[in-house]
């Protein structure tokens, strides 16, 4: 049965994690993500799960790596400074293909910045924060209701693709309470990691199936395997071979790129006849859609694309709109990050206008509307 609730984004995230089967949380307190830890500290033991507050952010990452290797769905939550500290082990989890979700309830940075002010400054860090090359999945909801669904989606993707998934939340979404209708638990589709179908003596821990993803037994299941952050071959043991190294690093990308259509979540509104478009994500989408509705009342043919999947970047979606419209606006609560991806894909097919904002406040719809009108006036 569906149920109507009044909750924060952080609460929706924690509740969704439980619905999705997360039974392990390890983390470190940090504003504005702490409610996720607090809720799970209370809820997880009620259902036989485990919660541990670790000595630092890095330890939180290490513990969820361990729990996931032991076969338990695991999640951690943090914010900017903690997200920076977690980067090394996020890379480790990518390299060793350990499923987990890292929630980053973003705050304004750099450094300690403004701990309770919203910002979208970690969009590129989610992609490139850890050293080396690897594919990344990062999702970004824009409402409390969507936070519930997208948290489940993040956990499902992490299990399916054996990769750490970054869930980016806005401080405002994390802390805002909204009245929402949660779906019936029975209607929610859950994904579990693939288990090996061969007996232990035939099992190769990092031999991918045709989909590029190796099955993953849990420690204790009788498949004794080795996990290392060193470049490794299909057996999981270190290899110095250039050919094997290349195949591994390629696969860490292609196992995500080859499923991009499934992973790319987005919505578009008012695009049918649009001559201008806004590309927005997270809470900025909510200011932008209000601006679009006001612009439509004034007769401006403007549409909007809401990106939920930030990484891998929605090249096909952006390419399609760049072919259709004359101008693409990218409002972001950062100095202009994802706009560079939009420009890369638009490649001159449409003019791309960056609307950056780094003062720790939300966009007002009027700010975005003014930018639209200014461009219309310029074009005459």
332, two tokens: 């972001």
Q: Which residues pair with 329 in a beta bridge?
A: 278, 353
Instruction: Determine if 222 is a binding residue for other proteins (CB under 8 A).
Output: yes
Is-contact 271 289, C-beta < 8 A?
A: no
Residue with tokens 């250039």: 242
Shortest distance in whole angstroms from residue 226 CB to other proteins: 5
- Does 42 bind other proteins (CB under 8 A)? Our answer is yes
Cβ proximity to other proteins: between 195 and 379 the closer is: 195
- CA dist 356 and 338 (Å) reads 10
Which residue is it, tokens 């696969």? 251
Number of residues that bind other proteins (CB under 8 A): 45
DSSP code at position 300:
-
Residue closer to other proteins, measured from CB, 219 or 269? 219
- Given the rule CB under 8 A, which of 30-38, 229-237, 259-267, 295-303 is the region that contacts other proteins? 229-237
Nearest Cα neighbor of 221 from 24, 71, 65 is 71
Out of 38, 221, 268, 367, name the contact with other proteins by CB under 8 A: 221
DSSP state of 108: B
Q: Are 23 and 45 in contact (CB under 8 A)?
A: no
Q: Which is nearer to other proteins, 216 or 278 (CB)?
A: 216
Residue 231 found at the interface with other proteins (CB under 8 A)? no
The site string for other proteins over 79-98 (x = CB under 8 A, - otherwise) reads ---------xx--x------
DSSP 238: B
Residue 31 to residue 83: CA distance in whole angstroms = 12
Hey, which residues between 6 and 25 contact other proteins (CB under 8 A)? 23-24
- Residue 182: phi and psi, rounded to 5, are -85, 145
Q: Is the distance from CB of 162 to CB of 27 less than 8 angstroms? A: no
Alpha carbon of 258 to those of 114, 161, 183, 271, 325: distances in Å? 38, 11, 30, 27, 28
Is residue 34 helix, strand or coil?
helix
**Which segment (45-53, 107-115, 244-252, 347-355) binds other proteins by CB under 8 A?**
45-53
Using the rule CB under 8 A, give the single segment among 71-79, 110-118, 140-148, 362-370 that binds other proteins.
71-79
User: Could you tell me which stretch among 121-129, 215-223, 257-265, 289-297 binds other proteins (CB under 8 A)?
Assistant: 215-223
Which of 65, 283, 310, 350 forms a contact with other proteins (CB under 8 A)?
65
135 binds other proteins (CB under 8 A): no
d(CA 63, CA 226): 17
- Asked if 226 is part of the footprint of other proteins (rule: CB under 8 A), the reply reads yes
Select the span of 64-72, 79-87, 139-147, 359-367 touching other proteins (CB under 8 A): 64-72
Decide if residue 216 touches other proteins (CB under 8 A).
no
Is 132 a binding residue for other proteins by CB under 8 A? The answer is no
Segment interacting with other proteins (CB under 8 A) among 9-17, 63-71, 191-199, 324-332: 63-71
First to last CA, the chain: 54
CB of 86 to other proteins, least distance (A): 11
Note the residue count of the chain: 380
| 244 touching other proteins, by CB under 8 A | no
Residue number, 59 or 188, with CB nearest to other proteins:
59
Q: Which two tokens stand for residue 253?
A: 């990308």
Residues 304 and 281: beta-carbon distance below 8 Å: no
Where along the sequence are the contacts to other proteins (CB under 8 A)?
A: 23-24, 26, 42, 45-46, 48, 50, 52, 54-56, 58-72, 74, 88-89, 92, 218-222, 224-230, 237-238
């Amino acid at each position: 049965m569906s149920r109507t609730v009044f909750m924060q984004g952080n609460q929706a995230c924690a509740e969704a994690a439980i619905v999705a089967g997360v039974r392990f949380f390890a983390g470190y307190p940090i504003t504005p993500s702490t409610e996720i830890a607090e809720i799970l500290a209370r809820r997880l033991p009620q259902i036989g799960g485990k919660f541990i507050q670790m000595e630092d952010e890095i330890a939180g990452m290490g513990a969820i790596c361990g729990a996931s290797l032991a076969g338990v769905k695991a999640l951690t939550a943090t914010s900017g400074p903690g997200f920076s500290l977690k980067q090394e082990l996020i890379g480790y989890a990518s390299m060793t293909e350990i499923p987990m979700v890292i929630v980053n309830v973003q705050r304004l940075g750099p450094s300690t910045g403004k701990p309770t002010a919203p910002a979208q400054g970690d969009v590129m860090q989610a992609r490139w924060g850890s050293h080396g090359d690897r594919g990344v999945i990062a999702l970004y909801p824009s409402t409390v209701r969507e936070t519930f669904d997208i948290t489940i989606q993040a956990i499902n993707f992490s299990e399916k693709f054996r990769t750490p998934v970054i869930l980016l939340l806005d401080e405002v979404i994390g802390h805002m309470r909204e009245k929402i209708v949660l779906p019936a638990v029975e209607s929610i589709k859950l994904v579990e990691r693939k288990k090996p179908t061969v007996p232990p003596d035939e099992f190769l821990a990092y031999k991918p199936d045709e989909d590029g993803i190796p099955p993953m037994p849990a420690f204790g299941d009788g498949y004794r395997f080795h996990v290392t952050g060193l470049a490794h071959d299909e057996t999981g043991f270190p290899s110095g071979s250039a050919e094997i190294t290349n195949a591994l690093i390629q696969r860490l990308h292609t196992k995500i790129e080859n499923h991009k259509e499934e992973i790319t979540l987005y919505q578009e509104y008012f695009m049918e006849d649009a001559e201008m478009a806004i590309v927005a994500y997270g809470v900025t989408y909510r200011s932008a859609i209000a601006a679009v509705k006001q612009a439509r009342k004034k007769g401006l043919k403007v549409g909007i694309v809401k990106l939920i999947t930030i990484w891998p970047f929605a090249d096909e979606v952006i390419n399609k709109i760049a072919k259709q419209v004359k101008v693409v606006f990218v409002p972001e609560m950062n100095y202009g990050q994802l706009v560079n991806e939009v420009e890369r894909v638009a490649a001159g097919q449409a003019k791309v206008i960056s609307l950056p904002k780094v003062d720790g406040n939300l966009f007002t719809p009027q700010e975005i509307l003014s930018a639209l009108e200014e461009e219309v006036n310029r074009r005459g």
